Structure 1
Amino acid sequence: MKIICYDCTRAFEWNTVMSRCACGGLLQIEHDFSGLDADALKRLFHERLAERTTPLAGGVWRYKELIHPLLPMDQIVTKYEGNTGLYASEPVSRFTGARKLWLKAQSENPSGSFKDNGMAVAVSHGRSLGMNRFACSSTGNTSASLAMYAALCGGESYVFVPSEGVAGSKVLQTLAYGGRLVRFTGTYDDGLQFLETHAEALGLYVCNSVNPFRIEGQKSIIFEIAQMMDWSLPDWIVLPGGALSNASALGKGLRELKAIGLIERVPRVAIVQADGASPFHRMIAQGAASLTAEKHPSTRASALNIGNPPSWKKAVGTLHFTDGVTVSVSDEEIFAAKSVVDRSGIGCEPASAAAVAGLKKLVANGSIDQEETAVCILRGTCSRIRRRYKGMYRLRLMRSKETGSRFTPHFWYK
């Protein structure tokens, strides 16, 4: 197992602490699966379904051989994440026009979102390297997940949250877990840029999706769907696209499942963005070679309110591998879909409902045949509240000639 730069293919040791290559490219974990037997793995993963109290009981570490085979068992941090439901829903099926669909409810994770799948691995890996100060930029789900796992292993969490467009319930959840919030005027992208620039100097281990071990954990979502469907995946996987980490993880997981021989057929992937924050969809629709960031993304689906998704190149790879498509939907379409999912007894956050709204739109325009089967990935569940919170640190945006950052680097002592 080693770390590879997605852009220049430079290789690094698996225990190297870094967010990006010197060339600016994102990093990716490369495994050697040549000695694995698909049938033996299927039996092993099935046997682990009987686990109850070991780290292998969860829906992430059940697949440890495919995610982080070199991590010592005593370094695993887990709340038995994964094991989330896969539900058929007649009301949602009627709404979308798709005759047969399932909803993968990642809201059933311990902190309420799919971020737990990735965060369990990122924090475990950081812990194994001796790190105990974990950080992220977040508009909601990531913050709660990071704070939970950091607290679980006795570490500290530092969460950068924009002053606008943040899921309030997730902020309260983050504070409850002991997370230290740094509130700033700017966007998710600004917070991530600051962390990538200053994390090393501040002794922070960055757990956003630029961390390749986050992606390793999140690919367990497609592993679990495959196992739940007896290793025969549907025609389509439909998922929301914000930072595009899930799209990246999904593509990586599908490539590995196919290479090992755990699945015979690869489903097509549809990535759904909100109209007001759709730089990736616009790039694909226009046939552009690179992504143009949106400086002021605007959608009420706060988890999708990202104008410069860091994982866009990996998401392009997912589309190419799966012959995938993209689509954007309005906030009105998102909330109409959310109402149907909520009333079906499953429930989801607005960003999750984008997957259902996207499926409806793709069936309506003929991109997806109504007779084809589909799984919509529901990222999580939360309410969205705008307000000020006690206990937050304050952080002023500023230009610094020394660092080139929009943040003051000595916020810690304000």
Structure 2
Amino acid sequence: MDNKMLKEKKQERRGIWRFSGYLADVPEKFRLSLNEGNTKEEYFPPLDVILKREDQNPTGSLKDRGLAFLVSKAWSEGFGSFVLSSSGNAAISAANYCNLAKLKLKIFVSPKIDKNKLLVLKQMKADISIDNRPLSMAGRFAKENNLYNLRPSLNQFGSEGYQTISFELAGNKGEISDIFIPCSSGVNLIGLFRGFKKAGKLPRIHLCQPASVCPLAGLFDHDYQSEAVSLATSLVAKHSPLKDQILKAVEESRGAGWVIGNDQIKQADKILLKNKIETSAEGALALAAVEKARNKGWKIKRGVCLLTGKKY
């Protein structure tokens, strides 16, 4: 896949479907889109890195890419009712895509969900249940009611839409040396890895997690103090079904994992705000990881940092 092919494909359709030729097949009439993707790539001089502005997606996060594909694929296979557990962003995204086709969606969230994200869901009149165990409750509800579970980490197509981030970067920026990805279950990382492999341009992949929950990044980075809670409230997965795939992807790319504490997140956020960039704590966490990597001796010549969601 060369740059010319990527650029030609991007002209074909709206949103992620511009790259439909490189994704699993979904008949055109089932392709839902809010014109997601094609997000800005901004050079950020303070840390000499490119910011991929996934916080500028239609519903405010990179989840739009994953859910646009996943909901469309399931709909094309005859499903019309769905269930999803979420810390917030995925629920907002899924609700919007389901609304496009008048599909039913049951959402399970934790009482710890960001109150502003919960407000957005309520304003959409989403069917929400608040439970201390949203993940297990969503799985049980799906089985008992024969609903399609949109949990991306358990779905073979969960990472599909995220490949389009890689296609955009490869087509617009050419060779990049490193990419820093905030991760919870890591389904986004798997998608990016597969996308870069298809594009034939695999950078070093850096897995970034908070000091409160770092089951994957903590296997690479031992220089941190554990924390009870993190400012990066969307990164909450204590276990990932994709663990082996994620570790293989990071190792094959010759990348690393980084654990970031709240003080580091705050400092990175200050730098962003000073440069008039307001984004989520998860994005600030990834930016802090860039600085930590450099302080540990990593030579990052042409790095990319994912700003995964907007600030609520």
TM-score, length basis structure 1: 0.70
Partner of 2:176: 234
Give the alignment partner of residue 135 of structure 2, picking from 192, 200, 207.
Answer: 192
Structure 2 contact 108–137 (Cα < 8 Å) conserved: no
Q: Unpaired segments of 5 or more residues in structure 1? A: 1-37, 94-99, 287-293, 384-414
Please identify the structure whose Cα radius of gyration is greater.
1
Question: Aligned-pair RMSD on alpha carbons?
Answer: 2.0
Structure 1 contact 298–305 (Cα < 8 Å) conserved: no
Amino acid aligned to 2:163: K
C-alpha separation in 2, matches of 1:308 and 1:338? 27
2:91 is equivalent to residue 130 of structure 1: no
Partner of 1:47: 8
Q: Deviations over 1:73-112 (max 9, x none)?
A: 0011111100100000223x2xxxxxx3100010110100
Partner of 1:212: 156
Structure 2 contact 220–258 (Cα < 8 Å) conserved: no
Aligned positions of 1:4-403 closer than 5 A = 38-39=1-2, 42-50=3-11, 56-58=13-15, 60-68=16-24, 70-91=25-46, 93=47, 100-164=48-112, 166-185=113-132, 190-210=133-153, 211-229=155-173, 232-258=174-200, 263=201, 266-285=202-221, 298-366=229-297, 368-369=298-299, 372-383=301-312
Residue 49 of structure 1: how far off its partner (Å): 4.4
Q: Deviations over 1:374-393 (max 9, x none)?
A: 0001101132xxxxxxxxxx
Residue 277 of structure 1: how far off its partner (Å): 0.9
Secondary structure in 2 aligned to 1:304?
Answer: coil
Structure 1 pair 307–335 and aligned structure 2 pair: CA distance change class (3 A): same
Q: Deviations over 1:235-284 (max 9, x none)?
A: 110111212111111222222222xxxx4xx2101111111111112234
Structure 1 contact 237–375 (Cα < 8 Å) conserved: yes
C-alpha separation in 2, matches of 1:376 and 1:322? 16
C-alpha separation in 1, matches of 2:197 and 2:207? 17
Residue 48 of structure 1: how far off its partner (Å): 4.8
Structure 1 contact 158–180 (Cα < 8 Å) conserved: yes
Amino acid aligned to 1:225: L
Secondary structure in 1 aligned to 2:181?
Answer: strand
Q: Deviations over 1:310-348 (max 9, x none)?
A: 322221121122011011011111122122223323321
Residue 192 of structure 1: how far off its partner (Å): 2.2
Structure 2 contact 10–19 (Cα < 8 Å) conserved: no
Structure 1 pair 328–121 and aligned structure 2 pair: CA distance change class (3 A): same
C-alpha separation in 1, matches of 2:267 and 2:147? 40
Q: Unpaired segments of 5 or more residues in structure 2? A: none
Structure 2 contact 170–196 (Cα < 8 Å) conserved: no
C-alpha separation in 1, matches of 2:41 and 2:221? 31
Residue 50 of structure 1: how far off its partner (Å): 4.5
C-alpha separation in 2, matches of 1:212 and 1:342? 38
Residue 306 of structure 1: how far off its partner (Å): 2.4
Amino acid aligned to 2:307: L
Identity %: 25
Structure 1 pair 43–282 and aligned structure 2 pair: CA distance change class (3 A): closer
Structure 1 pair 171–65 and aligned structure 2 pair: CA distance change class (3 A): same
Partner of 1:13: none
Residue 369 of structure 1: how far off its partner (Å): 1.8
C-alpha separation in 1, matches of 2:81 and 2:268? 38
Secondary structure in 1 aligned to 2:94?
Answer: helix
Secondary structure in 1 aligned to 2:198?
Answer: helix
Structure 1 pair 309–344 and aligned structure 2 pair: CA distance change class (3 A): farther
Structure 1 pair 228–80 and aligned structure 2 pair: CA distance change class (3 A): same
